[in-house]
């Protein structure tokens, strides 16, 4: 068995400076077939990934450190350390975290792990699809497309 993960550790599995991801620092925590968790940290004055919603995965956000702003369909609201927010599937569960403070925001995201899954990004009109099973290309399915307006 490996080392037991700790949500207060500053050893990160991934570190990047890219708005595409939910945070600059991430660590995948233990996960099973149906549930998983990831630890994230957003640096000061940065946005944690794109505004999005899932068609298959429910998510549960736990704010561990800092005071992020949550963007959701009803607008924006500030969260406090210890706040817990549930995101349902579908457009009503859309969300994005923004760190407008001068301190890092650390949060835990626990999610169901459906396969296949589709995620929509309303700001860019994109949709991503993914599955744990291999696609016709011989590797797990993962694709992103821009949705076109249908006439009529």
pLDDT(96) > 90: yes
* Per-residue confidence (pLDDT) for residue 5, from 0 to 100: 87
- Measured CA to CA, the distance from residue 141 to residue 138 in angstroms comes to 9
User: What's the whole-model pTM score?
Assistant: 0.89
Question: Residue for token digits 């994230």?
Answer: 40
- pLDDT digit string (tens) for 4-46? 889 999 999 888 776 556 568 888 999 999 999 999 999 999 9
Please count the residues of the chain.
152
- Is the confidence at residue 71, as pLDDT, over 80? yes
The answer to whether the CB of 120 falls within 8 A of the CB of 50 is: no
Q: Quick: pLDDT tens for 104-140.
A: 999 999 999 999 999 999 999 999 999 999 999 999 9
Domains and CATH numbers, the chain: 23-114 (2.60.120.10)
pLDDT of the residue at 18: 62
Under 8 Å CB-to-CB from 8, ≥6 apart: which residues?
none
């Amino acid at each position: 068995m490996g080392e037991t993960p700790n949500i207060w550790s500053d050893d990160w599995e991934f570190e990047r400076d890219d708005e595409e991801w939910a945070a600059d620092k991430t660590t995948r925590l233990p996960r099973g077939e149906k549930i998983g968790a990831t630890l994230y940290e957003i640096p000061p004055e940065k946005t944690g990934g794109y505004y999005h919603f899932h068609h298959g995965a429910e998510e549960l956000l736990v704010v561990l450190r800092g005071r992020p702003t949550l963007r959701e369909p009803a607008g924006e609201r500030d969260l406090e350390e210890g706040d817990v927010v549930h995101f349902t599937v579908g457009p009503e569960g859309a969300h994005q975290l923004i760190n407008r403070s001068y301190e890092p925001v650390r949060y835990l995201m626990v999610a169901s792990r459906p396969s296949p899954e589709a995620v929509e990004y309303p700001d860019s009109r994109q949709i991503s699809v993914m599955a744990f099973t291999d696609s016709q290309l011989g590797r797990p399915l993962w694709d992103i497309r821009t949705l076109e307006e249908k006439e009529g």
